Amino acid sequence: MPSVKVDVLLERKHPKLAAFVVIPASRVARWKLTGTTTVEGTLDGFPLGRRSLHRWDDERWFIELHRETLDQLGKGPGEQARLVISIASAALPAELQALIDTEPAARRRWEAHTSAQQRMLREEILGAKSPATRERRARRALLPEPEPPAPKVPGLGNSPRALIVRIIGERLPGTRCGPYSDVQVGMPQKVGCGPDELVPADVAQVSWETSVEVREQDGRPAFRGRAVNGPPRERFLYLTWIGREGRAKPAMFRRAKLRLDAVPGDVLAKALRSGVLVGRLALTDSDGMPVCASVRPPAITWSEG
């Protein structure tokens, strides 16, 4: 399919929502789209990566934009940009295809997915940079390990209990990491937002605090709070890494998920008595870059405050 070039307006309905661009349906009519489609391309020459083209109505389609895309552009809502897009390859990642081909159980689970679910899983796996991570994501989705029964946490019941979660980061990677300079780190205090405060990544130690509530739900601890992200059984806090690549504007390039669902039950019980849960971790990964992805013990040590 030939690519589509169109001048678009950067838009945002509300400061808490993602920015987006609208594409007239007439410009993509030749593609004969029937639903959400994965595209790739550029915005003012900056790569968009693989993005979802959504149908708005009979006259319009739209693409949501990452915050870092706007940071790279140096533009905001109300400004115009040149969008160039084409339909992305629908081929499955090699790691996912191999799993489907060699594991009957994985094939059955894959075929039980709707086409939309298959597309979303394909994109989630393609979003991983390394083959090992792509394989892990494929196995986690199609060959999930049975969940062990959750241990009972003394002091936890149906009524929410308030906790202060304090995160202490040590061994920071420095303000220059790989191709990135002016590296900083922060913990977003509200879901869907960036960090309110950023700390240079060359300090000796950094700490953050946030308020959460926890109660028992379906036999497991259930966390909630302004900074708590993720589905009910996979709650986490984000650490966001901001850096500058070349002459581009500073933008997010890595995030770490501090998994609250991995807090040991005995530690959580003690923290409920003291009112403070402390997580301590090194912020430099084994490759010398900032820590990222899901962080569980022993990479993070949880204790009561």
Q: Do 114 and 244 lie in a common domain?
A: no
Kindly state the helix (H) or strand (E) to which residue 24 belongs, with its residue range. Answer: strand 19-24
Q: Looking at the whole model, is its pTM more than 0.75? A: no
Mean pLDDT over each residue of the chain, to the nearest integer? 91
Residue 200 lies in a domain: yes
Do 131 and 210 lie in one domain? The reply is no
Residues 170 and 199 in one domain: yes
208 and 234 assigned to the same domain: yes
User: Among the three residues 48, 68, 87, which one is the final residue of a domain in this structure?
Assistant: 87
28 shares its domain with 116: no
> Is the residue at 151 inside a domain?
no
Q: Which are the contacts of 63, defined by CB distance < 8 A and separation ≥ 6?
A: 20, 21, 23, 39, 48, 51, 52, 53, 54, 83, 85
Statement to judge: residues 109 and 219 lie in one domain? no
CA 93 – CA 95 distance, rounded (Å): 5
- Residue 241 located in a structural domain: yes
Question: Does 152 fall in a domain?
Answer: no
Establish if 153 belongs to a structural domain: no
Higher pLDDT, 155 or 1: 155
Question: What is the C-alpha separation between 271 and 166, in angstroms, rounded?
Answer: 11
For residue 150, being part of any structural domain is answered with no
Same domain, residue pair 40 and 108: no
Centre a 10 Å sphere on the Cβ of residue 258 and count the other Cβ atoms it contains. 26
Give which of 181, 227, 183 is closest to 208, Cα–Cα.
Answer: 227
Q: Is residue 74 located within the same domain as residue 42?
A: yes
Q: Over the stretch 217-258, which tens digit does the pLDDT of each residue have?
A: 888 899 999 999 988 778 999 999 999 888 888 888 899 999
pLDDT value of residue 194: 83
Q: Do 76 and 18 belong to one domain? A: yes
Q: What percent of the chain has pLDDT above 90? A: 66
- CA neighbours closer than 13 Å in the CB half-sphere of residue 137: 22
Average pLDDT over residues 26-35: 93
| 172/229 same-domain check | yes
pLDDT in tens, 254-302: 999 999 999 999 999 999 999 999 999 999 988 788 999 899 999 999 9
- Give the pLDDT confidence score for residue 16 in this predicted structure: 61
Q: Do the domain assignments include residue 290?
A: yes
Quick check: is 270 in a domain?
yes
Chain centroid offset of residue 199 CA: 21
**Host domain of residue 15:** 4-87
Assess whether 60 and 115 both reside in one domain.
no
Shared domain check, 300 and 165:
yes
Q: How many domains does the chain have?
A: 3
